[in-house]
């Protein structure tokens, strides 16, 4: 079982308490009514799906209930960092893709 | 003819005694789901006459009343003498949400030398007293059900689950009590 560090509970907790909640750092356009269908599609549907480091939202749904963000390596499934919602992406230099 | 509703306690008559393990339904209690921002905590703590805990996975107890930290702005308050907790909080002018959930939850008392082991059959958290000391409290999972787990003593835990899950949780605990040794 994976252990995931919850930045609100300040400790590692078993993955069964968490739920994945999609890609992180996707900003909703401020002028959402004015953008074209193509721009809306890009915002709403298109996700990066990288091989390597990805930034995701997670929710500690069976714990403190909070959403937070995580940097995870999609190759190794390793969590590189977790941080509170609203905080900027962490500096991951030196933590590159490990297998 | 007037129909009178009869309230049937969940888990009535259920109990389990085994080598180093005892399971029993907790007595009725009043419970409050309390949510409040930092600025309201002083007033609410005063009204409830206990300090709402700020540290993750912790609780505060005063007499028959306890407040369990569930999240950064969320507590489960339990009063074993069935005080009207919602009315107590209603007198506090500071911003908060207090919802009476006395009958939504059922408490199960798990005690004995094997309590940790029996709970760990369905709960994936580290329940050793180093990671989960007396007074620790946390929302977590037990099998397929969500529970709130509170360590009330070195060998005593209280499990709070939703009423409709109580049969499942109790039966799971009974099976674990029989199977592990």
- Classify residue A16: in a domain, yes or no: yes
CB–CB of B71 and A13 under 8 A?
no
As a whole number of angstroms, the distance between CA B116 and CA A56 comes to: 34
Asked whether residue B180 carries a pLDDT value surpassing 70, the answer given is no
CB–CB of B139 and A10 under 8 A?
no
- Would you write out chain A's pLDDT as a tens digit for each of its 99 residues? 899 999 999 999 999 999 999 999 999 999 999 999 999 999 999 999 999 999 999 999 999 999 999 999 999 999 999 999 999 999 887 665 544
Task: Write out chain A residues lying below 8 Å of B141, CB-based.
Answer: 16-17, 62
Q: Are A4 and A16 in contact (CB under 8 A)?
A: no
Which of B41, B52, B94 minimizes the C-alpha distance to B76?
A: B52
pLDDT of A95 = 67
> Using CB atoms, which residue from B71, B72, B141 is nearest to A17?
B141
As a whole number of angstroms, the distance between CA B165 and CA B12 comes to: 14
pLDDT digits (tens, 9 = 90+) for B49-97: 999 999 999 999 999 999 999 999 999 999 999 999 999 999 999 999 9
Kindly list the domain boundaries of chain B, sorted by start residue: 14-27+104-181, 30-101
The CATH classification number of B14-27+104-181 equals 3.30.1360.120
Task: Write out chain B residues lying below 8 Å of A1, CB-based.
Answer: 124
CB–CB of B72 and A10 under 8 A?
no
Q: Given the cut 0.85, state whether the ipTM is greater than it.
A: yes
| Interface contacts A/B by beta carbons within 8 Å | 40
- Classify residue A35: in a domain, yes or no: no
Task: Write out chain A residues lying below 8 Å of B146, CB-based.
Answer: 62
pLDDT of B1 = 63
| Domain CATH for A62 | 3.30.2270.10
The CATH classification number of B30-101 equals 3.30.70.1520
Shortest Cα–Cα distance, B2 to chain A (Å)? 43
Which of A25, A23, A24, A11 minimizes the C-alpha distance to A63?
A: A11
Which of B22, B32, B4, B13 minimizes the C-alpha distance to B174?
A: B22
As a whole number of angstroms, the distance between CA B142 and CA B96 comes to: 29
**Which structural domain, as residue segments, surrounds residue A21?**
1-26+49-90
As a whole number of angstroms, the distance between CA B181 and CA A28 comes to: 55
Shortest Cα–Cα distance, B143 to chain A (Å)? 10
As a whole number of angstroms, the distance between CA A61 and CA B140 comes to: 9
Provide the token pair at B41.
Answer: 């905590």
Gyration radius of chain B's alpha carbons: 17
The per-type count for chain B, helices as H runs and strands as E runs, is 4, 11
């Amino acid at each position: 079982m994976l252990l995931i560090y919850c930045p609100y509970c300040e400790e590692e907790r078993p993955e069964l308490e968490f739920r994945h909640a999609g890609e992180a750092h996707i900003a909703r356009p401020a002028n959402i009514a004015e953008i074209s269908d193509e721009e809306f599609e890009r915002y709403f549907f298109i996700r990066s799906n990288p091989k390597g480091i990805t930034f995701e939202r997670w929710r500690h749904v069976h714990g403190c209930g909070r959403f937070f963000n995580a940097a995870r390596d999609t190759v190794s499934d390793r969590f590189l960092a977790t941080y509170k919602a609203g905080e900027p992406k962490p500096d991951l230099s030196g933590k590159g893709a490990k297998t | 003819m007037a129909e009178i509703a009869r309230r049937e306690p969940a888990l009535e008559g259920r109990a389990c005694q085994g080598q180093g393990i005892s399971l029993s339904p907790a007595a009725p209690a009043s419970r409050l789901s309390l949510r409040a921002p930092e600025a309201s905590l002083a007033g609410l703590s005063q009204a409830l006459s206990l300090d709402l805990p700020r540290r993750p996975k912790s609780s505060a107890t005063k007499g028959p009343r306890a407040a369990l930290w569930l999240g950064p702005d969320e507590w489960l308050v339990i009063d074993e003498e069935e005080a009207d907790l919602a009315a107590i909080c209603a007198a506090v002018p500071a911003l908060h949400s207090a919802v009476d959930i006395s009958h939504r939850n059922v408490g199960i008392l798990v005690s004995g030398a094997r309590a940790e082991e029996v709970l760990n059959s369905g709960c994936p958290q580290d329940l050793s007293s180093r990671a989960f000391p007396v007074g620790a409290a946390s929302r977590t999972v037990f099998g397929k059900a969500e529970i709130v787990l509170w360590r009330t003593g070195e060998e005593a835990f209280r499990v709070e689950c939703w009423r409709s899950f109580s049969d499942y949780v109790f039966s799971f605990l009974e099976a674990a009590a029989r199977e592990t040794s």
